[in-house]
Amino acid sequence: MTTNTAGTRRRDAAGTRQLLLDAARRRFAADGYTAATVRDIATDAGVNVALINRYFTSKEGLFEACLAEVGDELGRTVDDQLPLERIPHDLAVRLAGPHAARHRTQLLLLLRSSGDEKAERIRVDILRRFADRMATAAGWQPGDADADRRMLRAQMTLASAIGIALLRASTALEPLASADQDELAEPLRDMFSALLAPDR
């Protein structure tokens, strides 16, 4: 019986690459870009540190890949057709739902800067696209008389959401730290309504 060794290697490579991405996201989000070492990331992933250079060229390349993956995931979560009233619920799920730890890591990663110009462009572009989609859900259109005001409010809403994720991850500030998604959904709806309601 023959085995498809090329296919197996491709699957192993894809799996190893994903292990490194997952480990790197956690390290970069928790420790920051500078403090996170490639050796620690490789150890967390359970692979040889040399594989970081093989798959990502460098630590900077790994960070860029982490950001790109987060951008793809956030893009699937907040699409241009998402009704405004759904955003607070979806955000509450991301902050306190069953996969909250992974989602929180996504948001925290967007606070981290590597000092690398390309990575910074990726990071800012992800934040801008996320705010654009929330603003669009609230009726924002480029060129409207109140476009800047609506965009400012969308960016403030994004900043508030990231702040909530940061406090929940880094403090024991109660009741915020242990609030579940149902408890978060109502105040998030109030906040979104105050900032993003189309008639404001």
Q: Are 52 and 14 a contacting pair, CB within 8 Å? A: no
Residue 10 is encoded by which pair of tokens?
A: 């491709």
d(CA 9, CA 13): 6
Question: 97-132 burial, b for 16+ CB within 10 Å, e for fewer?
Answer: eeebeebbbbbbbbebebebeebeebbeebbeebbb
* 125-130 average pLDDT score: 86
Per-residue model confidence (pLDDT) at position 1: 47
Higher-confidence position of 141 and 76: 141
**Average pLDDT value for the chain:** 83
Task: Inform me whether the pLDDT recorded for 80 exceeds 70.
Answer: no
Average pLDDT over residues 43-70: 93
CA distance 181 to 186: 9
Q: How many Å apart are CA 127 and CA 105, to the nearest integer?
A: 15
pLDDT at position 58 is: 93
191 has pLDDT over 50: yes
Across the range 4-33, mean pLDDT stands at: 80
pLDDT above 50: residue 133: yes
Segments making up each domain of the chain, as ranges: 5-196
Angle at CA of residue 164, ends 158 and 167, nearest 5°: 140
Fold of 5-196: Tetracycline Repressor; domain 2 (1.10.357)
- Do residues 192 and 157 lie in contact, with contact meaning Cβ atoms separated by under 8 Å? yes
Rounded to the nearest 5°, which phi and psi values hold at 180?
Answer: -90, 180
Query: Which residue bears the tokens 């997952």?
Result: 22
The candidate with the shortest Cα–Cα distance to 95, out of 179, 187, 190, is: 179
Of all residues in the chain, the percent with pLDDT exceeding 90 is 25
Tokens of 145: 């008389």
Interatomic CA distance for residues 126 and 108, integer angstroms:
13
